């Protein structure tokens, strides 16, 4: 009984270890494909450029989000509020 109680108390702590590293990103290639197919034929230079531009835009958005998160964390560390 004591083992089961200890396991019950420790399980939530161990569950937090499962979420390490980058979160799984949603596959948006289907959305990009549909968007680019509306504007250009598959395989054309315009289609390839469209897909490349969408990928660059997504990368820039991810970089901005990461930078904002780092800035917020740094600001919170440098300016702690004490109750």
Write down the pLDDT at residue 23. Answer: 60
Look at residue 12 and tell me if it is in a domain.
no
Look at residue 48 and tell me if it is in a domain.
yes
Write down the pLDDT at residue 66. Answer: 93
Q: Residue 40 sits in which domain range?
A: 26-83
Say how many domains are in the chain.
1
Write down the pLDDT at residue 15. Answer: 65
Report how far residue 68's alpha carbon sits from residue 83's, in angstroms, rounded to the nearest whole number. 25
Look at residue 32 and tell me if it is in a domain.
yes
Write down the pLDDT at residue 20. Answer: 59
Write down the pLDDT at residue 81. Answer: 78
Determine how many CB atoms are found less than 10 A away from the CB of residue 66: 11
In tens, the pLDDT along 4-51 reads: 777 777 777 666 666 556 666 666 777 888 899 998 899 899 999 999
Write down the pLDDT at residue 79. Answer: 85
Look at residue 1 and tell me if it is in a domain.
no
Look at residue 78 and tell me if it is in a domain.
yes
Look at residue 16 and tell me if it is in a domain.
no
């Amino acid at each position: 009984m004591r083992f089961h109680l200890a396991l019950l108390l420790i399980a939530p702590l161990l569950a937090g270890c499962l979420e390490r590293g980058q979160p799984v990103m949603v596959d948006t290639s289907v959305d990009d494909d549909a968007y680019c197919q509306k504007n250009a034929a598959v395989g054309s230079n315009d289609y390839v450029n469209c897909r490349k531009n969408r990928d660059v835009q997504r990368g820039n958005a991810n970089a901005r989000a990461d930078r904002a998160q780092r800035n917020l964390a740094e600001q919170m560390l440098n300016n702690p509020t004490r109750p």
